Chains A and B, each alone.
Chain A
Amino acid sequence: MKAEGPASGPAVQLERIDDQTWRIARDASRGMRVEGLVFASDRLMSTLRGDPALQQVANVATLPGIVHASLAMPDVHWGYGFPIGGVAAMRVDGGVISPGGIGFDINCGVRLLRTDLSAADIAPLKARLADTLFRSVPSGVGASTGRRLSSRDLDEVLADGAAWAVRAGHGWSEDLARTEEGGALAGADPGEVSKRARERGSNQLGTLGSGNHFLEVQAVDRIDDAAAAAAFGLEEGQAVVMVHCGSRGLGHQVCTDHLTVMDRATAAAGIELPDRQLACAPLGTPDAAAYLGAMAAAANFAWANRQMIADAIRRAFADVFQRPAEQLGMHQVYDLSHNIAKFEQHLVDGQPADVCVHRKGATRAFPPGHPDVPEAYRAVGQPVLVPGDMGRCSYIATGAPGSMLRSFGSSCHGAGRNLSRHAATRELRGVDIAAQLRALGIEIRAERRDLLAEEASLAYKDVEEVVAVSRDAGLIRPVARLRPLVVVKG
């Protein structure tokens, strides 16, 4: 597959505020209602200058009802409409909902399970564990379970999310308390999910998918915050399991369907936008309500999906280690969304205000004491899961107080891509990525080994730098660094 390079627009003017923050002034681009703020170090900014992502930060600032600023997290990169790594809060009264600010993979997110096993326990069984996980969790492009949910079951999944899976025997009830929103976003309306979306999703529940989605067995290789690590049940040398996936074809189709509606709603409301992908509807209108109902339903599908995958992982570990998952201590640490819109209260111009926070490739990062942080973690803050790339490392952090002051309680969601798939493949032509990973002690299984270069470390920013900037900006506090042992890719 050959591809031409991307278009770069004229450079957006940036003004440095401090070591981690850059401003895009309101007059930098036509129609901006607020300024843009980008969290980045010099090193991250050196790869961002000239990137269309910065123009997208400015474009988001034109949306009606946006407050404070259009924000870019340190892992920001070129998306469509919103940048990936974009955060924007709209006033409930006078603001809009924009599906492009959530993305096609509604409630794409990350789940982390802990274990009582150590990396040393994993080592002699690494290949067998990789094979078992690869068989147990369907992955790859178009992955399906081979069985279709009945229409009634699908309605229940869309309404109840992860709780449906737990009721059906796929998980532990304690998992729900350690999942954002308890694994079910309120207000889901299965009636707003189209027949095509149901067709695309009904045989995909419990599947990983492809692209940057993955399942990794990781080792805790460094503890940065002992108290928070203890609260999360983590210690150095321990094995954990991280899953990254979303709402599969169902969620993609929900966004597609409602984007078409929003396109008409934008014109009907007389809203002028610099990018049609920012199509939106005023909050409180029937079009906005229909999307929000469908978005919540798709989000719930994603939570049920990750719940089913977690169940399959526990069963795979039980099979390989010949002990029930309960005896292996496979408790869920947390599950969070990084593609979603939420109604939250934040300080705007010093006053509490109800806003709709769009997080597109951005993670909620609530600090210690916040009532929406699970009780078990309230003293240390909400777990923030930051996957890196398959050759280096990932992080678990906690939300820090600065996130409420600077980013509507948000932080980075990963390393962020640095190279297109084509560019990564071209750079790594002839390189055996699986062999390289094996030399690093990482066992990998993938449906298409020939496409691994698209997801190689080279294609991503350095997650260490992204986490450091998020920390220095006061958005998160790193808790532990996680190193991959086993990688399952689509």
Chain B
Amino acid sequence: MEHDPSVGTDRARPRSDTPARGHRLLAHTADAGLEAWAPDAGALFEEAALALSDISADIEPGTAATAREAVAIEAPDAEGLVFAWLNELIGLIDVRGAAITGAGVALARLEDRPLVRATVRLAPFDGRRVRRRSDIKSATYHRLAVRRVRDGWSLVAYLDI
């Protein structure tokens, strides 16, 4: 087993020396987790999409998206919105046979009727520049956390692989 004390104490808080927005992956014995942080809700969802892409695909740098998908999701709370957002992306990967190369969030709200409206960018798996890495079954509610931090927002989510 690996142990990362920073994860155990305040999992959703980025370290003080991290940039204003970013993401990293978290290990899990059977599965995988992700942490994202950003100054605003829209960038937070974009970073979460990039983290999910890192787990699910290997994409050569410079690969352009060839498809776009509009997504609009509402949920009763912030964690529920992240759960729904990640699962929408996971479903798109399966159904479109394509990797997520990024997302552009037009509107995102984490408090007071949480919602996200975005365009998801996709590149089809071709076995060369865009290769499948992990079949993600679903995002989970396990240790799912969305928090306000000093410089914006952060989230932690675990995925079933």
Tell me which residues across on chain B come within 8 A of A422, comparing CB atoms.
2, 25, 27, 32
Q: Mark A241-280, 1 if CB is under 8 A from B, else 0.
A: 0000000010011011001100110000000000111010
- A14-22, A72-80, A151-159, A215-223 - the one binding chain B: A72-80
Is A350 interfacial (CB 8 A cutoff)?
Answer: no
Say how far B95's CB is from chain A's closest CB, in angstroms. Answer: 5
Q: Which chain B residues (1-56) contact chain A, with CB distance < 8 Å?
A: 1-4, 6-8, 11, 24-33, 35, 54-56
Q: A256 with B135: in contact, given A51-B1, A419-B29 (CB under 8 Å)?
A: no
Report the minimum CB–CB distance from A118 to chain B (whole Å).
35
Are A276 and B144 in touch, CB under 8 angstroms? yes
Q: Number of B interface residues, CB 8 Å?
A: 51
| Pair B160/A77 contact, Cβ less than 8 Å | no
Check B142–A277 contact: CB distance below 8 A.
Answer: yes
- The answer to whether A420 and B141 have CB atoms under 8 Å apart is no
Closest to B8 in A: A7
Rounded to whole Å, the gap between the CB of A239 and the closest CB of chain B is 29
* Chain A residues whose C-beta falls within 8 Å of the C-beta of B2 in the assembled complex: 5-6, 420, 422-423
Q: Given A4, A80, A279, which contacts B160 in the complex, CB threshold below 8 Å?
A: A80
A7 engages B11 (CB within 8 Å): yes
Chain B residue contacts of A120, Cβ below 8 A: none
A164 to chain B, nearest CB (A): 22
Residues in A whose Cβ lies below 8 Å from that of B133: 1, 141, 448, 451
The answer to whether B27 touches A84, judged by C-beta atoms less than 8 angstroms apart, is no
User: Any chain A CB within 8 A of the CB of B143?
Assistant: yes
Instruction: Say whether A263 contacts B141, CB under 8 Å.
Output: yes
- Which residues from B are CB-within-8-Å of A255? 137-138
Interface centre among A81, A100, A253, A255 (most CB of B within 10 A): A253
Contact, CB under 8 Å: B27 / A423 = yes
Q: Would you call A211 and B141 a contact (CB within 8 A)?
A: no
Residue of B with least CB distance to A249: B94
> Is the C-beta of B119 less than 8 angstroms from some C-beta in chain A?
no
- A421 interfacial contact with B, CB 8 Å: yes
Asked if A322 is at the interface (CB within 8 A of a chain B CB), the reply is no
Stretch at the interface among B75-83, B102-110, B147-155: B75-83
Is there an interface contact between B141 and A276, defined as CB atoms closer than 8 Å? yes
Q: How far, in whole Å, are A490 and B4 apart by their CA atoms in the complex?
A: 30
Q: Which residues on the B side are within 8 Å of A100 (C-beta)?
A: 140
Pairwise interchain contact A6-B132, C-beta atoms closer than 8 A: no
Q: Which residues of A lie under 8 Å from residue B135 when comparing CB positions?
A: 141-142, 209-211, 490
Partner of B84, one of A8, A77, A260, A277: A260
Q: How far is the CB of B12 from chain A (nearest CB, A)?
A: 11
Contact with B along A295-337 (1 / 0, CB 8 A): 0000000000000000000000000000000000000000000
Given known pairs A142-B125, A211-B135, A451-B133, the reply for A6 and B25 (CB within 8 Å) is: no
A260 proximity list for chain B (CB < 8 A): 80, 83-84
A26 at the interface (CB under 8 A from B): no
- Interface status of A140 (Cβ within 8 A of chain B): yes
**Interface core residue of B4, B25, B31, B95 (most chain A CB under 10 Å):** B31
Known: A1-B25, A141-B56, A142-B125. 14 other contacts (CB 8 A): A1-B55, A9-B8, A47-B1, A103-B160, A104-B137, A140-B132, A142-B93, A142-B135, A199-B91, A210-B134, A256-B138, A279-B141, A419-B1, A490-B135
Residue contacts A-B, CB under 8 angstroms, 12 given: A5-B3, A6-B3, A9-B8, A81-B141, A84-B30, A105-B137, A253-B91, A255-B138, A256-B90, A419-B1, A448-B133, A490-B135
4 closest Cβ pairs, A-B complex = A5-B2, A80-B142, A141-B132, A276-B141
